[in-house]
Amino acid sequence: MSSSTSALSPQESEETAQSAHPHANPAKSPTYPQRTHFGERQELLNKLTAWDEKIAAMGKKIATLGTHPNRGTYERLYHQMQGARDQMAECVRRMPLETGTLYDEDRERLASAEAALARTFQRWDAVSD
In a domain, 126, yes or no: yes
Q: 117 with 53: CB under 8 angstroms?
A: no
pLDDT for residue 11: 52
Q: Is residue 10 part of a domain?
A: no
Domain, as residue range, for 123? 56-63+70-129
How confident is the model at residue 108, as a pLDDT? 96
Is residue 121 in a domain?
yes
Distance set, CA 10 to CA 3, 13, 18, 20, 79 (Å): 15, 5, 17, 14, 67
Q: What share of the chain is helix, strand, coil (3-state, %, to 5)?
A: 70, 0, 30
- Predicted structure pTM score: 0.70
Angstrom distance (rounded) from CA 109 to CA 102: 11
Q: What percent of the chain lies above the pLDDT cut of 70?
A: 71
pLDDT tens, residue by residue, 67-88: 889 999 999 999 999 999 999 9
Within-domain flag for 123: yes
User: How much is the pLDDT for 17?
Assistant: 45
Q: What total of structural domains would you count in the chain?
A: 1
